[in-house]
Amino acid sequence: MPPSGNRGEASGPALSRDFFARPAELVAPDLVGRLLTVDAGGADEVRAWIVETEAYLGMRDPASHAHRGPTPRSAIMFGPPGHLYVYFTYGMHHCANVVTDGTGTAGAVLLRAAMVESGAKVVRGRRRAPAATVIADNALLRGPGNLSRGLGLDLRDNGADLCGVAGRVVISSGRGRRPPIAVGPRIGIRRAVDSPLRFAWAGHPAVSRPRPGGVPRC
């Protein structure tokens, strides 16, 4: 149960479209520490702090789905910033991205992990764990597949506007200091494996493994 009436204002204003209209490698670290809200005000509301992201640089990035130009799948990344790009992979997982850069220039930030702030019960209901297994709060939204599953994001959310008035998904600025950021190479890709485009909240227990470089152990 939410402890007390912590309304949306405590998380700061929603990020504007201008925030996303920058190169993905700048937006990605800037999204770490922001608050993600899904289904605000509804019975399934979930709020979570973004703790890990990766930047995909469009046509100049061999690892980006947009590398070879627009296709039916990648077209959304060439559109206006501040929208969701959700894709299905490995026959069973969805991954959620935020579209960046200006209209006509492809770019995206993959949301890799988040820490549940409220709505953990809703998330547990979506994660299918083996019977008698309890998933720790830290692990509920750890990994891009688990994050999308736990937040209920799938292909129906592809193209959703993050900056609209009544959108299902909103990212707000948060309050207080920016968290310390650790940087490392991206995970699970076959090409451009060495580019340091993975960004994480340094030392945060909800970050997926392996932890990016320079993070103090424990």
Partner DNA sequence: CGTGCGATTATCT
Partner DNA sequence: GATAATCGCACGC
Closest CA relative to residue 56, chosen from 19, 94, 113, 109: 109
Minimal distance, residue 171 CB to DNA, in Å: 16
Single-letter code of the amino acid located at 153: L
Single out the residue of 12, 23, 79, 145 in contact with DNA (rule: CB under 7 A): 145
Torsion from C-alpha of 7, 156, 207, 124, nearest 10 degrees: 70
Strands 169-172 and 141-142: what pairing?
A: unpaired
Nearer to DNA by Cβ, of 11 and 147: the residue is 147
Single out the residue of 65, 83, 168, 204 in contact with DNA (rule: CB under 7 A): 65
First to last CA, the chain: 29
CA 85 – CA 56 distance, rounded (Å) = 12
Single out the residue of 66, 84, 123, 207 in contact with DNA (rule: CB under 7 A): 66
Q: Is 83 in the site for DNA (CB under 7 A)?
A: no
Single out the residue of 186, 199, 204, 206 in contact with DNA (rule: CB under 7 A): 186
Residues at the contact surface with DNA, assessed by CB under 7 A: 54, 56, 63-66, 68, 71-74, 77, 85, 87-93, 95, 97, 108, 110, 127, 130, 133, 142-147, 155, 186-190, 208-210
